[in-house]
Structure 1
Amino acid sequence: MAYGGSQGTSLFVNTIAASPYLPMQYGYKDWLPSQSYYAFATEAGCPPSLPYGAHPQTIFQCLVGKDTDTLINASATISESGNYGTWAFLPVTDGVFVQDLPSQQLLRKQVNGINALIGNNAAEGPSFVPQNITSEDNLVAWLQLTFPLFTNDDIAKVLLYYPSSNASTNPNAPLYATSGDSGPSALNQSSVGTGQQERADNIYAETTFVCPSYWMAEAYSDRGRTSFKYQFSVPPALHGSDVSGSAPNIGPDLALAFRQIWGNFITANNPSISSSVANGASSGNAGSSNDASNWPPFTIYAPYQINLNETGGTPFSTNITQIGHNITEFGQPGLQNDITLVNAWTWEAGRGYRCDFWRSMGAIVPE
């Protein structure tokens, strides 16, 4: 997206975006980044206590005169005081290097490079959402804090796009991963949360990680460009869990398949892998055809993605620090690959439609 996507292939041809992070991106002089700047200046000993012209130095000149430790500590103090799961200092739109909101620039397909491999995890949200949302009132209060430009009507619209019972979360409800294409969905069910908590987790996951991956896939789907989309779904599939090749819930067959997906994309511009690798040596049917051997590019008229998952395995209990309690995962022996082709648009009860909703909210959710 740099410089409005005008650099073409001068820096790179292929790009890999795993869980692309898109917090709200305000204009560089909008009220929210300005408030963070003034708070930082005050913490560093350069408070805006006088009107412009009444002080011998500008705030910036005062900051330049401070030592490194003072600036580092002030930055850390202010950043830690921001909303749960985020930071006070985030990317901004400056009109030159970053020229527009990603949701809008990606819609115009103004990007650099030619090919993109883009993925998201099944449960991106829990690490960034307070894990004490037990009622719809809690959910609404969290929405008001997380999206400060929302009116009551905007919140009502979000609840409409993320339907669920208004009942409080049942702490004894079973935790399990959804299939993605049938039965309960990520709207209110996952391997780490249910009810109103999962509702919040999924809202944050989609607006901050998942929908940006969809928008990127769309941006590279035309004008001589190609994109390939995947979801990493091995439970609990939290943010960052896809980058650990030695986790006890990731079998050697899936680790090999994932490595070859990235490797083939880097070396051959295409992430397709052989059916034998996709099915895995442990499957007993390694020779059967697998859609990952002929990975279809993502397009609006055929919005397919590869779902990277496993089946089988031996249950074990593990503590998930993000949610503060134990869950059941599955490890060796017995893990087998479950790599399939799915419709990304209808996935998880219509994720593609919800991503279109978030794009339409760009004026008050600047992403």
Structure 2
Amino acid sequence: MTAPPLFRAAITSSTFLPSQYPFNDRIPELIYSEVVAQANCKSGKDCLDCLRSVDANTLQAINKEISANGFFGTFVFVPVVDGDFIIESPTKLLKRHKINSVLLSVTNSFEGASLVNQSTASTVDVSEYISQLFPNIKANAIKAAVALYADLGTNIFQVNAIMGESIFICPTQLLMKAVGKSAYKENLRYRPVYMGRT
């Protein structure tokens, strides 16, 4: 929160908040290790120094390869909480109401479906999906989530809802709660249409 505020009002559309990890969490460490290995920087004394000398085209190819093999609908390379540039996760800051603005937040119905591989409709397992979407989630939380969504219909509909609510709807509600009485919500009834897709 700044004084004076940096802006008077804001509009968010499809408030997107994927999992964000501390820099030394096992998830970013695994990704870093994979980049180091693909860049042939594993054997040197200083892996980071080696990476800095790798050709940009090689790094771009590594980025593309790792991202393509990531969990469908998620971004592999996201900012991490380093305690310096990003001091805390947005989720923790919002819970402490660290925001000052008038806010309009817009969501779309069934938006999670665009980030779920619909070709897995006949094979997707809800419990496994949750564990892959949230790699650090505990077994009891997976069980609770499965039970919460069990009555929604088919497995693919359930995972569409899980993706949409966890990545878009819940962050929107958290943001609005942080702003308080100056927050307004709009929901578009239909799923958004993307270029080249129907």
User: TM-score, with normalisation over the residues of structure 1?
Assistant: 0.49
Q: Does 1:206 align with 2:190?
A: no
Change (3 A) 1:71 1:215: same
Following superposition, the deviation at residue 203 of structure 1 comes to 0.7
Letter in 1 for 2:37: T
Letter in 2 for 1:231: N
Report Cα offsets for 1:190-240 as digits up to 9, x if no partner: xxxxx2211110011000011111111111115xxx11111111x3x14xx
Identify the residue that residue 125 of structure 2 maps to in structure 1: 138
1:226-237 matched pairs, under 5 angstroms: 226-233=182-189, 235=190, 237=191
Which blocks of at least 5 consecutive residues in structure 2 are unaligned?
none
Report Cα offsets for 1:159-206 as digits up to 9, x if no partner: 222231xxxxxxxxxxxxxxxxxxxxxx44xxxxxx221111001100
User: How many residues of Structure 1 are paired with residues of Structure 2 in the alignment?
Assistant: 196
Following superposition, the deviation at residue 8 of structure 1 comes to 4.2
Following superposition, the deviation at residue 133 of structure 1 comes to 3.5
Superposed CA RMSD in Å reads 2.2
Identify the residue that residue 183 of structure 1 maps to in structure 2: none
Separation in structure 2 between the aligned mates of residue 218 and residue 96 of structure 1, nearest angstrom: 26
Following superposition, the deviation at residue 61 of structure 1 comes to 0.8
Following superposition, the deviation at residue 60 of structure 1 comes to 1.2
1:1-367 matched pairs, under 5 angstroms: 5=1, 7-47=2-42, 49=43, 55=44, 57-111=45-99, 113-131=100-118, 132-134=120-122, 138-164=125-151, 187-188=152-153, 195-221=154-180, 226-233=182-189, 235=190, 237-238=191-192, 241=193, 320=198
User: TM-score, with normalisation over the residues of structure 2?
Assistant: 0.88
Following superposition, the deviation at residue 10 of structure 1 comes to 4.8
Question: Which structure carries more helix by proportion?
Answer: 2
Separation in structure 2 between the aligned mates of residue 232 and residue 9 of structure 1, nearest angstrom: 33
Report Cα offsets for 1:39-72 as digits up to 9, x if no partner: 112222212x4xxxxx4x4111111112221121
Runs of 4+ in structure 1 off by over 6 angstroms are none
Identify the residue that residue 325 of structure 1 maps to in structure 2: none
Report Cα offsets for 1:125-160 as digits up to 9, x if no partner: 11211221336x722221222222234322210022
Separation in structure 2 between the aligned mates of residue 196 and residue 230 of structure 1, nearest angstrom: 28
Separation in structure 2 between the aligned mates of residue 213 and residue 42 of structure 1, nearest angstrom: 38
Larger radius of gyration: 1
SS in 2 for 1:99: coil
Query: Which has the higher relative contact order, 1 or 2, with Cα contacts under 8 A spaced 6 or more apart?
Result: 2
Tell me if structure 1 keeps the 8 A contact 2:105–2:183: yes
Separation in structure 2 between the aligned mates of residue 84 and residue 8 of structure 1, nearest angstrom: 41
Question: Which structure carries more strand by proportion?
Answer: 1
Separation in structure 2 between the aligned mates of residue 96 and residue 161 of structure 1, nearest angstrom: 37
Following superposition, the deviation at residue 9 of structure 1 comes to 4.4
% same residue = 27
